């Protein structure tokens, strides 16, 4: 079975020192680098959150505090507003310096439209296709191994979309960490991914 490795949002702003930190994020780097170096994948894809400064997922652009609940007028924002993060061409948007980014074959940049967020590497939150499924199917990929940040947001939505596109999906638990904005978010995300057919190892 042809496999792809999908590295979700391994960007400075999601690490301990970043604008939207995920606790323990740096602990996943060693495992991810092992996977990147083993050359078993048909292709290695990385997603990169890549927002304009006026992005409407940022609480600052609504004069609200980060993590305020929010439902976008058009589908595509919320359920929370975030701190400013992953602004295009900023340090925070760069990949973590320890990650072997030279192994990335394709980078999918998401969240580039001001009014729409993108949690999944496959589709914007309003459904616009980012081209990843077509790319993987052209390479005859059947199984996607998913790692990265954050488990209960972008990893979660990426896994669900991968399943919808008919791929087998394996999430490597020790290579992913969650934001846990609400206690239990990580457990709920894991249960839902399993219920929908993902394998979590």
The answer to whether the peptide bond before residue 193 is cis (omega within 30 degrees of 0) is: no
Is residue 84 part of the contact set for Zn ion (CB under 5 A)? no
**Distance in Å, CB of 104 to Zn ion, minimum:** 19
| Packing angle of the helix pair 156-164, 185-195 (nearest 10 deg) | 10
Tokens (6 digits) for 17: 């020192």
Residue of minimal Cβ distance to Zn ion: 49
Q: Judge contact between 185 and 154, C-beta under 8 A.
A: no
CA distance 178 to 25: 8
DSSP for residue 87: B
Does position 152 bind Zn ion by CB under 5 A?
Answer: no
Give me the least distance between CB of 71 and Zn ion, in Å please: 17
9 given a catalytic annotation: yes
31 is catalytic: no
Spot the catalytic one: 7, 9, 84, 103. 9
9 binding Zn ion? (CB under 5 A): no
7 tagged catalytic: no
φ and ψ of 173, to 5 deg = -60, -40
Q: Which stretch binds Zn ion (CB under 5 A): 33-41, 44-52, 90-98, 166-174?
A: 44-52
Task: Please say which residue, 80 or 163, places its beta carbon nearer to Zn ion.
Answer: 80
Q: Please give the positions annotated as active site.
A: 9, 110, 154
């Amino acid at each position: 079975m042809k496999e792809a490795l999908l590295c979700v949002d391994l960007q400075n702003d999601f690490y301990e020192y970043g604008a939207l930190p995920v606790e323990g994020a740096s602990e996943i780097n060693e495992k991810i680098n092992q996977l990147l170096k083993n050359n078993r994948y048909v292709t290695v894809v990385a997603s990169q959150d890549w927002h304009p400064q006026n992005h409407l997922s940022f609480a600052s652009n609504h004069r609200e505090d980060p993590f305020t609940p929010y439902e976008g007028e058009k589908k595509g924002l919320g359920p929370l507003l975030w701190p400013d993060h992953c602004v295009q061409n900023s340090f925070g948007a760069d990949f973590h310096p320890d990650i072997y980014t030279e192994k990335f074959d394709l980078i999918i940049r998401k969240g580039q439209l001001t009014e729409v967020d993108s949690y999944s590497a496959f589709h914007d939150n309003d459904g616009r296709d980012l081209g990843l499924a077509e790319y993987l199917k052209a390479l005859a990929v059947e199984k996607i191994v998913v790692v990265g940040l954050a488990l209960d947001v972008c990893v979660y939505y990426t896994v669900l979309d991968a399943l919808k596109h008919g791929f087998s999906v394996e999430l490597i638990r020790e290579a992913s960490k969650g934001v846990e904005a609400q206690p239990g978010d990580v457990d709920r995300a894991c249960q839902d991914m399993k219920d929908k057919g993902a394998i979590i190892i």
